[in-house]
Structure 1
Amino acid sequence: MRNQREQASQLPRDGAATETRALHGVSEVAALLAFKNSLTIPPGAADFFAKWDAAGVASSPCNFTGVTCNSSGSVTAIRVEVLGVAAASVPFDVLCGSLPALATLSLPSNALAGGIDGVGGCTGLEELNLAFNSFSGVVPDLSPLTKLQKLNVSQNSFTGGFPWDALPSMPDLTVLAAGDNGFFTQTDTFPAEITKLTNLTVLYLSAANIGGVIPPGIGNLVKLSNLQLSDNRLTGEIPPEITKLTNLLQLELYNNSLRGDLPTGFGKLAKLQLFDASMNMLTGTLSELRSLTQLISLQLFYNNLTGEVPPELGDFKELVNLSLYSNNLTGELPQNLGSWAEFNFIDVSTNALSGTIPPYMCKRGTMTKLLVLENNFSGQIPATYATCTTLQRFRVSKNSMSGDVPEGLWALPNADIIDLEGNHFTGGIGDGIGKAGSLNSLYLARNRFSGAIPPSIGNASNLEILDISSNELSGEIPASMGSLANLGSVNIAGNGISGEIPVSLGMCSSLNTVNFAGNKLAGTIPSELGSLPRLNSLDVSGNDLSGAVPASLAGLKLSYLNLSDNRLVGPVPEPLAIPAYGESFHGNPRLCATNGVDFLRRCSPEAGGHSASTARTIVTCLLAGLAVVFAALGAAMYITKRRRAEAEATVGRGSGKLFAKKGSWDLKSFRVLAFDEHEVIDGVRDENLIGSGGSGDVYRVKLGSGAVVAVKHITRAGASAASTAPSAAMLRSPSVARRTASVRCREFDSEVGTLSSIRHVNVVKLLCSITSEDGAASLLVYEHLPNGSLYERLHGAEGCKLGGLGWPERYDIAVGSARGLEYLHHGCDRPILHRDVKSSNILLDETFKPRIADFGLAKILNSATPDSTPGVVAGTLGYMAPEYAYTWKVTEKSDVFSFGVVLLELVTGRTAIMAEYGQSRDIVDWVARRLDSRDKVIALLDAKIGEEWAKEEAVRVLRVAVLCTSRTPSMRPSMRTVVQMLEAAAIGREFGHVASVKGKVIP
Structure 2
Amino acid sequence: MSARPTFHLTLLSLLSLLLCFLYLATADDLQILLTIKSALQNTNTNIFNSWEPNNPPCNFAGITCSQGSITSIDLSNQYLSGSIPFNSICQLNSLESLSLGQNHLHGPITEDIANCVRLQYLDLGNNFFSGSVPDLSPLSNLKYLYMNNSGFSGNFPWNSLSNMTGLLVLSLGDNPFERALFPNSILGLTQLNWLYLTNCSIEGEIPRGIGNLTELINLELSDSFISGEIPQEISRLKKLWQLELYNNNLTGKFPSGFGNLTNLEYFDASMNYLNGDLSELRSLTQLVTLQLFYNEFSGEIPAEFGEFRKLVNFSVYDNKLTGPLPERIGSWAEFDYIDVSENFLTGRIPPEMCKRGTMRELLMLQNNFSGEIPATYSNCTSLTRFRVSNNSLSGVIPSGIWGLPNLGFIDLALNQFEGSITSDIGNAKSLSQIMVADNRFSGNLPPEISKATELIAIDLSNNQFSGDIPATIGELKQLYSLHLQSNNLSGPIPSNIGFCAALNDLNMAHNSLSGHIPAAIGLLPALNSLDLSENELSGEIPASFSSLRLSLFDLSNNQLTGPIPESLSNAAYNGSFRGNRGLCSQNIKFFRRCSSDSGGSGAHWVVVLCVAVGAIVLIVSVSFVLHVKKSSKGDGDRSLKEDSWDVKSFQVLSFTEDEIIDSIKEDNLIGKGGSGNVYKVVVANGKELAVKHSWNSDSDGRKKSRSTTPMLAKSTGRKSSEFDAEVRTLSSIRHVNVVKLYCSITSKDSSLLVYEYMPNGSLWDRLHTFRKMTLDWETRYDIAVGAAKGLEYLHHGCERPVIHRDVKSSNILLDEVLKPRIADFGLAKIVQANGSKDSTHVIAGTHGYIAPEYGYTYKVTEKSDVYSFGVVLMELVTGKRPIEPEYGENKDIVSWVSSKLKTKESVLSMVDSTIPEGHREEAIKILRIAILCTARLPALRPTMRSVVQMLEAAEPCKLVGIIISKDGGSKKEEI
Matched, 1:77 2:68: no
Distance 2:187 2:72 in 1: 30
Output aligned runs, 1:615-630, within 5 Å.
none
User: What's the CA shift for 1:401?
Assistant: 1.3
Distance 1:574 1:67, change over 3 A: same
Match of 1:598 among 576, 589, 604: 589
2:178 corresponds in structure 1 to 185
Alpha-carbon displacement from aligned partner over 1:45-68 (angstroms, at most 9, x marks no partner): 33x544x33263xx2333333332
Amino acid at match of 1:64: F
- Aligned residues of 1:455 and 1:478 also touching (Cα < 8 A): yes
Local SS of the residue matching 1:322: strand
User: What's the CA shift for 1:535?
Assistant: 1.0
Local SS of the residue matching 1:564: coil
- Aligned residues of 2:81 and 2:103 also touching (Cα < 8 A): no
Distance 1:26 1:394 in 2: 68
1:696 corresponds in structure 2 to none
Local SS of the residue matching 2:28: helix
Match of 1:53 among 51, 54, 58: 51
Distance 1:602 1:151, change over 3 A: same
2:32 corresponds in structure 1 to 31
- Aligned residues of 1:424 and 1:447 also touching (Cα < 8 A): yes
Amino acid at match of 1:120: A
Matched, 1:105 2:117: no
1:119 corresponds in structure 2 to 113
Matched, 1:170 2:164: yes
User: Runs of 5+ in structure 1 lacking a partner?
Assistant: 1-11, 609-814, 817-845, 850-986
Local SS of the residue matching 2:417: strand
Output aligned runs, 1:492-891, within 5 Å.
492-593=484-585, 595-606=586-597
1:274 corresponds in structure 2 to 266
- Aligned residues of 1:323 and 1:1000 also touching (Cα < 8 A): no
Local SS of the residue matching 1:15: helix
Local SS of the residue matching 1:329: strand
Local SS of the residue matching 1:158: coil
Distance 2:244 2:31 in 1: 44
Matched, 1:470 2:458: no
Matched, 1:66 2:67: no
Of residues 28-37 and 452-461 in structure 1, the stretch that sits farther from structure 2 once superposed is: 28-37
1:784 corresponds in structure 2 to none
1:939 corresponds in structure 2 to none
User: What's the CA shift for 1:360?
Assistant: 1.9
Distance 1:234 1:1000, change over 3 A: farther
- Aligned residues of 2:30 and 2:53 also touching (Cα < 8 A): no
User: What's the CA shift for 1:13?
Assistant: 12
Q: TM-score of the superposition, structure 1-length normalised? A: 0.58
- Aligned residues of 1:577 and 1:597 also touching (Cα < 8 A): yes
2:154 corresponds in structure 1 to 160
Distance 1:222 1:991 in 2: 35
Amino acid at match of 2:101: P
Distance 1:346 1:467 in 2: 24
User: What's the CA shift for 1:992?
Assistant: 5.8
Distance 1:360 1:24, change over 3 A: farther
Amino acid at match of 1:602: R
Alpha-carbon displacement from aligned partner over 1:949-990 (angstroms, at most 9, x marks no partner): xxxxxxxxxxxxxxxxxxxxxxxxxxxxxxxxxxxxxx9689
Local SS of the residue matching 1:176: strand
Alpha-carbon displacement from aligned partner over 1:362-405 (angstroms, at most 9, x marks no partner): 22232222111111111222233223333222211111112222
User: What's the CA shift for 1:33?
Assistant: 3.7
1:86 corresponds in structure 2 to 80
Distance 1:34 1:556, change over 3 A: same
Distance 1:511 1:334, change over 3 A: same
Distance 2:366 2:504 in 1: 28
Distance 1:126 1:543 in 2: 79
Alpha-carbon displacement from aligned partner over 1:628-680 (angstroms, at most 9, x marks no partner): xxxxxxxxxxxxxxxxxxxxxxxxxxxxxxxxxxxxxxxxxxxxxxxxxxxxx
User: Runs of 5+ in structure 2 lacking a partner?
Assistant: 1-12, 600-795, 798-831, 836-937, 960-975
Output aligned runs, 1:197-208, within 5 Å.
197-208=189-200
- Aligned residues of 1:347 and 1:1001 also touching (Cα < 8 A): no
Matched, 1:420 2:418: no
Matched, 1:375 2:379: no
2:209 corresponds in structure 1 to 217
User: What's the CA shift for 1:148?
Assistant: 0.6
User: What's the CA shift for 1:574?
Assistant: 2.0
Distance 1:18 1:360, change over 3 A: farther
Distance 1:38 1:199 in 2: 36
User: What's the CA shift for 1:416?
Assistant: 2.4
Distance 1:990 1:597, change over 3 A: same
> How many pairs does the alignment contain?
609
Amino acid at match of 2:593: R
- Aligned residues of 1:582 and 1:599 also touching (Cα < 8 A): no
Distance 1:513 1:319, change over 3 A: same
Distance 2:72 2:958 in 1: 44
Matched, 1:332 2:330: no
User: What's the CA shift for 1:463?
Assistant: 1.6
Local SS of the residue matching 1:479: coil
- Aligned residues of 1:86 and 1:113 also touching (Cα < 8 A): no
Matched, 1:995 2:926: no
- Aligned residues of 1:285 and 1:307 also touching (Cα < 8 A): yes
- Aligned residues of 1:503 and 1:528 also touching (Cα < 8 A): yes
- Aligned residues of 1:13 and 1:19 also touching (Cα < 8 A): no
**RMSD of aligned Cα (Å):** 2.8
Task: State, as a whole percentage, how many aligned pairs show the same letter.
Answer: 49
1:136 corresponds in structure 2 to 130
Alpha-carbon displacement from aligned partner over 1:696-744 (angstroms, at most 9, x marks no partner): xxxxxxxxxxxxxxxxxxxxxxxxxxxxxxxxxxxxxxxxxxxxxxxxx
Alpha-carbon displacement from aligned partner over 1:855-901 (angstroms, at most 9, x marks no partner): xxxxxxxxxxxxxxxxxxxxxxxxxxxxxxxxxxxxxxxxxxxxxxx
Alpha-carbon displacement from aligned partner over 1:920-957 (angstroms, at most 9, x marks no partner): xxxxxxxxxxxxxxxxxxxxxxxxxxxxxxxxxxxxxx
Distance 1:385 1:64 in 2: 60
Distance 2:337 2:343 in 1: 17
User: What's the CA shift for 1:127?
Assistant: 1.0
Local SS of the residue matching 2:195: strand
Of residues 117-126 and 412-421 in structure 1, the stretch that sits farther from structure 2 once superposed is: 412-421
Amino acid at match of 1:162: F
- Aligned residues of 2:340 and 2:363 also touching (Cα < 8 A): yes
User: What's the CA shift for 1:474?
Assistant: 1.6
Local SS of the residue matching 2:130: strand
User: What's the CA shift for 1:315?
Assistant: 0.7
User: What's the CA shift for 1:530?
Assistant: 1.0
User: What's the CA shift for 1:289?
Assistant: 0.2
Distance 1:60 1:341, change over 3 A: farther
User: What's the CA shift for 1:299?
Assistant: 0.9
2:684 corresponds in structure 1 to none
Distance 1:545 1:269 in 2: 68
Distance 1:1002 1:166 in 2: 35
Amino acid at match of 2:451: N
Local SS of the residue matching 1:346: strand
Local SS of the residue matching 2:84: coil
Distance 1:107 1:433, change over 3 A: farther
| Larger of the two Rg values belongs to structure | 1
Q: TM-score of the superposition, structure 2-length normalised? A: 0.60
Alpha-carbon displacement from aligned partner over 1:331-369 (angstroms, at most 9, x marks no partner): 111121111112221111110111112222222232222
Distance 1:266 1:532, change over 3 A: same
